[in-house]
Amino acid sequence: MTLRLDGRVAVVTGAGAGLGREHALLLARQGAKIVVNDLGGSTDGRGGDSAAADKVVAEIKAAGGDAAPNYDSVTSPDGAKNIVDTALEAFGRIDILVNNAGILRDKSFAKVEMDDFKAVFDVHYWGSVYCTKAAWGPMTEQKYGRVIFTTSVAGTAGNFGQANYGSAKAAVLGLMNVLAIEGRKNNIYANAISPGALTRMTSGLGMDESFMEKLNPAFVSPAVAWLASERCEVTGGIFTAAGGGFGRLHYFETFGVQFDTSAPITVEMFDDAFPKINDFSTAVPAPAGTEGRMQERFDSLKR
């Protein structure tokens, strides 16, 4: 099991800037051939320019790596197919997909327009669906794949003004959970990173700039390169990565209660049991593909 990526082909979406660029540069240094996808638009997803992808391709080549550009938007099935076809045509396969492309249209829920909601879902959620769907066939055929999704603390914990972005980032985790189950038998692993970094997306958001400068996007990419390697045997994981710190995030469930179902269950019973239902000192992780404590309660009902 190696951390090297020689012979592997990786597609990184939104790799013309920020985190995606760093992921692409590191994956290339690890030996992978890279498709640098980027439509080169603005942070809010408007416009387009091939220069962003071209520049990163040139950087990879200058460092002795191999890369091909793609300028399609991830927001349509055809665009996603072109992105994956770029890998197949240039390098003959696709082993790694990093769903990284992203935009922001922040506004409080009271003020957000539905067009801004949909635009954010189109890139983060549907872009991840379309690109992964396009890569799934080749990965299934070759019985190998590493898919890395990009979520956010806005999706795992919420953030003011980001109802569109936070819910799209949470939806990406729902997709990952299912693909972790469906992909396992074909050696396709699906994981997510929840990054933090100073990029054009986060500069100008009113965060403390002197602190944000410590969050070099290059500090995030080692997690991506590890998840992209054969060495990674985790699937369905969410890994936090920011400022040189790394962790793993998971759903937990409290021990809770199981009432006798031969009698009616009342709201007062729920109220009485609430301290136990809410007691996180008894919580355990709910492993991917199981119902965790709920499964144990189901089992007790079957007995």
Q: Hey, which residues are catalytic here?
A: 165
Q: Which helix (H) or strand (E) holds 10?
A: strand 9-12
Site string for ligand NAI, 42-81 (x = CB under 6 A): -x-x------x--------------------xxx------
User: Is 161 buried (19+), middle (13-18) or exposed (0-12) by CB count in 10 A?
Assistant: middle
30 lies in the binding site for ligand NAI (CB under 6 A): no
DSSP single-letter state for residue 233: -
34 lies in the binding site for ligand NAI (CB under 6 A): no
Which two tokens mark 148? Answer: 């890395």
Alpha helices, DSSP H, located in the chain: 18-29, 51-62, 77-91, 114-121, 127-142, 153-156, 163-183, 209-212, 221-227, 267-277, 293-302
Please identify, among the stretches 41-49, 109-117, 182-190, 259-267, the one whose residues bind ligand NAI according to the rule CB under 6 A: 41-49
Helices 127-142 + 163-183 axis angle, to 10: 10
202 lies in the binding site for ligand NAI (CB under 6 A): yes
- Whose Cβ is closer to ligand NAI: residue 179's or residue 193's? 193
For the segment 142-171, give every residue that binds ligand NAI (CB under 6 A). Answer: 150, 152
Q: How far apart are CA 274 and CA 257, in angstroms?
A: 9
Please identify, among the stretches 10-18, 135-143, 230-238, 246-254, the one whose residues bind ligand NAI according to the rule CB under 6 A: 10-18
177 lies in the binding site for ligand NAI (CB under 6 A): no
Taking only Cα atoms into account, the Rg of the chain, rounded to an integer number of angstroms, comes to: 21
At its nearest, how many Å lie between ligand NAI and the CB of residue 282? 31
Q: Which of 5, 10, 14, 26 binds ligand NAI (CB under 6 A)?
A: 14
Q: Which residues contact 95 (CB under 8 A, 6 or more apart)?
A: 5, 8, 9, 10, 32, 139, 142, 144, 145, 146
What is the size of the binding site for ligand NAI (CB under 6 A)? 33
Q: Which residues bind ligand NAI (CB under 6 A)?
A: 13-14, 16-20, 37-41, 43, 45, 52, 73-75, 100-103, 123, 127, 150, 152, 195-197, 199-202
